[in-house]
């Protein structure tokens, strides 16, 4: 059993114990998949498409470099033993430069995409939590639990679709 699962299980047990003290029959519970809710929002879908468009030229540049690098490798394999030592050294040097450039572009792209994605998801996650709080208040719920930490729940308790609709209404994609 992972520590994360054990922690979630313990938190769920504590929540149920406190609910039983308050009178379980009177407690109203909702369940949500926060990840599915955030990723299902129109704002996130639009941001994802915008990021893909924004970073596509850099991805294409990396693909071009990879093709060039593959061409150099092919030349070295095809002409093994036929190239002069100077020509072979030149091709190896070109390949090394292109490999370094490709690695640098990849590292930079990954860092930029990760930073932007984390910022977008962080902002959307915060807004989603606010939406869920309002939704819980509107539905008269006492507690909303994360689906991942729940062993079983009736589908009628799932607020994910309602949360997505409420989020899209409160924060329409621009």
- pLDDT greater than 90 at residue 35: yes
Report the distance separating Cα 153 and Cα 31, nearest Å: 8
Q: What confidence category does residue 26 fall into, taking pLDDT thresholds of 50, 70 and 90?
A: confident
| 140 φ, ψ (degrees, to nearest 5) | 70, 35
Q: What is the pLDDT of residues 84-140, one digit of tens each?
A: 899 999 999 999 999 999 999 999 999 999 999 999 999 999 999 999 999 999 999
Structure tokens at 86: 């100077």
What CATH class is the domain 3-170? alpha beta
DSSP code of residue 79: T
What is the mean pLDDT of the segment spanning 39-60? Answer: 96
Residue 172: what pLDDT?
Answer: 93
R_g (Cα) of the chain, nearest Å: 26
- pLDDT greater than 80 at residue 160: yes
Q: What is the mean pLDDT of the chain?
A: 88
């Amino acid at each position: 059993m992972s520590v994360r699962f054990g922690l979630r299980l313990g938190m769920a047990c504590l929540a149920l114990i406190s609910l039983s003290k308050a009178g379980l029959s009177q407690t109203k519970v909702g369940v949500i998949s926060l990840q599915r809710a955030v990723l299902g929002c129109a704002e996130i879908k639009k941001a994802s498409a915008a990021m893909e468009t924004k970073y596509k030229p850099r991805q294409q540049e990396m693909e071009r470099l990879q093709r060039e690098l593959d061409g150099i490798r092919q030349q070295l394999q095809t002409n093994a033993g036929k190239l002069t030592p100077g020509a072979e050294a030149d091709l190896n040097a070109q390949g090394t430069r292109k490999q370094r450039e490709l690695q640098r572009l990849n590292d930079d792209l990954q860092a930029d995409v990760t930073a932007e994605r984390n910022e977008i998801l962080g902002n959307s996650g915060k807004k989603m939590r606010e939406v869920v709080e309002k939704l819980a208040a509107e539905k008269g719920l006492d507690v909303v639990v994360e689906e991942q930490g729940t062993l079983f729940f009736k589908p009628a308790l799932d607020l994910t679709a309602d949360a997505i609709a409420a989020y899209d209404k409160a924060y329409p994609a621009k």
